[in-house]
């Protein structure tokens, strides 16, 4: 993984479509934990999942990737 230039932060993202065909939701955050929190909230409300199983969590964490970098204080991609 490339390290972002000094002064920039990497954005992490998970595309729900990578796990649930046809869903356009994208969770973005500063780290995997933030992405997983947003993903869990989405799964509960949009997909009626009361809880995320260990198997689904493993698949979701594996699907998280770098979405790019942004300059703090600049326009946000998240």
DSSP 3-69: PPPTT-EEEEEEEGGGTSTT---EEEESSHHHHHHHHHHHHHHHS--SS--HHHHHHHHHH-EEEEE
Domain ranges across the chain: 9-70
| Model pLDDT, residue 10 | 85
Assigned token pair, 40:
């869990």
- 31-50 pLDDT, tens digit per residue, is 999 999 999 999 999 999 99
For the cut 90, the answer to whether the pLDDT of residue 60 exceeds it is yes
pLDDT band at 7 (very low <50, low <70, confident <90, very high): low
How far is the C-alpha of 15 from the C-alpha of 23, rounded, in Å? 8
Pair type for strands 26-29 and 9-15:
antiparallel
Question: What global pTM score does this model have?
Answer: 0.75
Instruction: Give the mean model confidence (pLDDT) for residues 53-57.
Output: 93
């Amino acid at each position: 993984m490339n390290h972002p230039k000094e002064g920039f932060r990497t954005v992490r993202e998970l595309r729900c479509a990578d796990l649930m065909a046809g869903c356009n939701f994208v969770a973005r955050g500063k780290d995997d934990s933030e992405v997983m929190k947003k993903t869990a909230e989405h799964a509960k409300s949009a997909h009626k999942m009361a809880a995320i199983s260990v198997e689904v969590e493993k698949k979701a964490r594996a699907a998280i990737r770098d979405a790019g970098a942004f300059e703090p204080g600049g326009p946000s991609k998240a």
